[in-house]
Amino acid sequence: MPKVAVYDMTGAKTGEIELNDSVFGVEINEAVVHQAVVMQLASQRHGTHATKTRAMVRGGGRKPWKQKGTGRARAGSIRSPLWVGGGVAFGPHPRSYKFSMPRKVRRLAIKSALTAKVNDGGLLVVEDINFAVPKTKDVVKFLGNFEASDNKALIITVDQNDNVVKSSRNIPGVKAINTMGLNVFDLLHHDKVLVTKDAIAKIEEVLA
């Protein structure tokens, strides 16, 4: 089982913790991780793009000229896709880009991302992360204790902690989530992942 150090909020080492091999020590599957990131980004797309077909464009109800005898090509409407100002033949229409992955595959992707963080030393376990009041300065000081002020940092708590979320949301590159919101993109996007011991236990309980 991989072992990582445990720190308090001042950055002082207080001990070690053994991580579950089945969650933090799996064989990294890059293909599954990539698919999970694509799925997550696709679900964020609004898909509101739209163009008008010839049926939607205003006008064009009258035949512009008679069918025969003019020497010109026959035309039934000035709103044909061939005409300037006409409809668009095969343009985009509102749609959803969402797609899903099997639960086991999604979990494998998260396990792979967590394992990668452990391997590169980007996962830091903290006894507890909490602030008395929402204050950005406290988070800046906290991250400084772990030399993470200049990095993109992800803070993970076991439950929703409003003080942690509000204190960190004004800092560029810093994000606070709970274990329910754990996702592959955030794990890969942030250089440092600071997670509480309780959150580690919850993650292992769900994913093991």
**48-66 confidence digits (pLDDT tens):** 999 999 999 999 999 999 9
pLDDT computed for residue 208 by the predictor? 82
Contact present, 126 and 161 (Cβ < 8 Å): no
Tokens at residue 161, please?
């902690």
pLDDT computed for residue 188 by the predictor? 95
Instruction: Give the mean model confidence (pLDDT) for residues 74-93.
Output: 95
**96-118 confidence digits (pLDDT tens):** 999 999 999 999 999 999 999 99
**Which pTM value belongs to this model?**
0.85
